[in-house]
Structure 1
Amino acid sequence: MANLDFLTSEEKEKVQQFMEITNTKCAETAHQLLSDSNWRLDSAIETFFIVSSIDAGEPSASDQSNSENNRNVGFVETIGESHDNIQEISAGYDSDWNASHTIREPLMTFSDQPVPDQLNNFISNFHERYCTSPDTTMPTFYTDTLQNAIDIAFGHENENLCRPLALFLNNEKSRHTENFIKSILCNPLVCEFLREKFILFPWDTTEELNKERLFQMMIDSRMRAVCDELVDFARSVDDFPVLVIVNRKRYSFEIINQFNWRSDVNEAFEGLHETFDKFKHEQLVEISKEIERKKEREIFDQQRADYDASLQADLEKKKRKVENKVMKEKEKNVKEAKDKVQQEAEEEKVKEKEKEDQKIKILLSKLPKEPEASNPTCVTVQFRFPDGTQGSRRFLQSDRIQIMLDYLTTKRYSPEQCRFFNSEFPRKDIMKCYDCQKSFGDVNWPKRETVWIVLN
């Protein structure tokens, strides 16, 4: 008896009822007719007896009770034949046959949508049609373009992380679609292995335009050899669905294995393992070849470099003598110029310091005396200097803000070199926001304030 574990409990019950009513022991025949009849038991039974009568040459009712062996000889083949033979029986059977063989809607209708949008529609319809049962495992499909799937599968910088590309090509017109999907593609072990070891790219070829779009994507992705094989394969609807495993060797693609309805779940699972091992072996072989090619290139490059170096050796020796002489003369001139510039800079620095010291001396002589802390009209300013140190100074409210700037200049933080900010938020640039000729009292300066000094 065929393995029908992928069916739901309700579907299994209908298979059992069919076999009891028709007195057949072939579970595969029962499943096939029920699936073609959209699981309408009465329609599947009627189709069974119609096909049986055709195959037996219109036997009598008593002949229909013959042994199972006589009745089922070639029965599976008869089911797959053209509907024309059945339609000749009578007009009344015509509508029943068509109803029992209603072709399902494609998982992906043709449109000018981007590929990711079409694949999302495919996955949504796939889940609704085949994965509604809680015990059904949904495959992990890739949902971007075919070129991106190829890049992820074979374009990883670390070649040990590369994976084979698995193309799941579906056709809802095939009578084997449901069986393959439920028994193999949605098998938990197969799903998990595909998710971990492969990039699974799906496509629905039920509509001819979608099939042509797939072939064009393959050609655009430089998969011409794979495309040519699939063009021949795709001529027969009942060869679908198929799981095609693709490998890339350097710049060409090839099919290394494929699975269809003729494979059972054990064959498919073991075949995927063998295919992945083969992929890894071929990858190691290719890596070894690439290492050898790299070594050969390195040897060639080294020999060429040594040859070029030997040709230049004599010229280098002659050039070096001239260059050394020129270099020494140049270094001498540069050193003299540098020493002269440095001397001038030091002299200028001394002059600037003397000038600054003179200015500070004058400012110190003009600074008013710091008031006592007990003076009620004094303001205290806390200074935060750029080097992280702090200081403070008291001023009278009648003192001009310029006096505070002069004080900071005596600390060698002049307005030409620094900017000064108060503690308000946001902080204000004191020289831009205040008239420094006004007194602290005129600008309502706080009794206690902090000033940040920032170097330009």
Structure 2
Amino acid sequence: MGDSNENHDDLVELSCEQTTLLERYQEITNEANKRKAIEMMQSVDWDLQQAIDKSFAGDAQYSDTVSSNTLTARSTSFAHDDDGQRDEMDEDLWFDGASEIHNGTSAIDTPVNDWGIFKGSAEWAGTSTSSANNSNKTLGTSNLRSKSGRNALSVISGTGTGEEVSGLERDSDSDGFDGHMEVEEDADDLQNANGKVEERAPLVPSEFTSIEEAMNNFTVVFEARYGYNHPPFFAGSLRDALREAFEAPGRPVSERRPLVMYLHNDNAVASNIFAKNVLCSDNVASLLNGQFITWGWDMTQEANKLMMLRWLEWNDIRDMNRILRKTSSEQYPLVLIVTKESGVFQLFEYCCGFDRPEDLMQKLIRGLDSYQRVKDVEEGEEKQRQEREMIRQEQKREYEESLARDRANQEKLERQKQVQEKEEAQRQLAEEQKADRMKKLASSLPSEPTANDANIVMVRMRFPDGLAEIRRFRRDEPLNNLAIFIESKGYDMKDYRIWNSDVPKKDLVTL
């Protein structure tokens, strides 16, 4: 067999894309024979989804020697596996085409993958005649059968949130599974129930009261499915995540980081494998934790997808909006690496569900290097801006100091002017009062006698300013008239003394 594989490999030359698709096919289907894998992919013209569907449809034609008890135990073990063992059950219960659900007398053709029970389009239904009962967390008593009636999976409802699997039977003459399933009520199967298959809660429910509630639900359910070794998801809105990544409020430019958006879709073939083996790998989780802001969203529900597209419009990330509108669910999960340059958000790189951990690591590192160059430019611009701001602040400070000095000088001049004006007013008032007093004193003196009058005395006075004046007085006039005359000239006796020419001098006022 080994020689055959080598000969076949020698004859077939695969492109890089074909090699990647082949590896993903072998990983998902657990097909160890590379020759068979190549033949399968060639038979469907390298359509991975079709090859996987065809492979799992072929798995239904296995031997009837498998014990139903063994299969029942296996189903039960799947139901009680908490963190990711559901993938195996998903692969065992993979169906292609639209499934018919018989609930009473009605049949509904609806693709359902919201809870992650099947990766095809099969859907569980309870005993209720209303399809609205499918939203409940518990399922009614049902019997899941193929249309041919050869294969049957009996399911009964439990008291909790899961369903019990009683047994799995296949007829020995089964020649394959036709891709359709039929659900019928079978009360007899209630007695054989011995296991539970739990529904899978969505990462983001279709209805939530706040974005914080939605993001908290995303993290809690993600950890319940894939474990705790994952990058920390930002617990806010997309706008807040963009602000935290590219503005780092209150922190320097060096702490800004590119944004990674993880968009999940439970309807995708690789949703579980990518989340567990790629996003939660040690290297990827460590790199995202240390160098990126990671924000997650669930695109499974159409309402959540439309909400995501609106958010991209509101935040002006139009190129990403166009890409998501054209991306089919088979390509999910998506890891979008977002950078920002010159104020514009840019989708630098993205990975789809079929990329390997090393592919994602390479793209993350390239995105990190690219944004580091942007940050280097922004840091230089920020440094220049800070220097300009420092100069502006210094100039502003000097201007304000100069303005304060000018204002102080102006106020000082105003005060001096006011003091001078007040002093001048007081001086003028004093002079006016002095002049009035001098006039009154002069008018109170008797008239000066003439030179021809008898009994007169001539008094020669020299004033402090150097001026001299002669005045005639009558001999019978009191000496006080001399003091009044001198005061009428502006020399108050409170400030001046009248000295005679005797030696020693005598104060005439005191005589």
TM range (shorter): 0.3 to 0.5
- TM-score w.r.t. the length of structure 2 is 0.43
Q: Give 1 or 2 for the bigger CA radius of gyration.
A: 2
Q: Which has the higher helix share?
A: 1
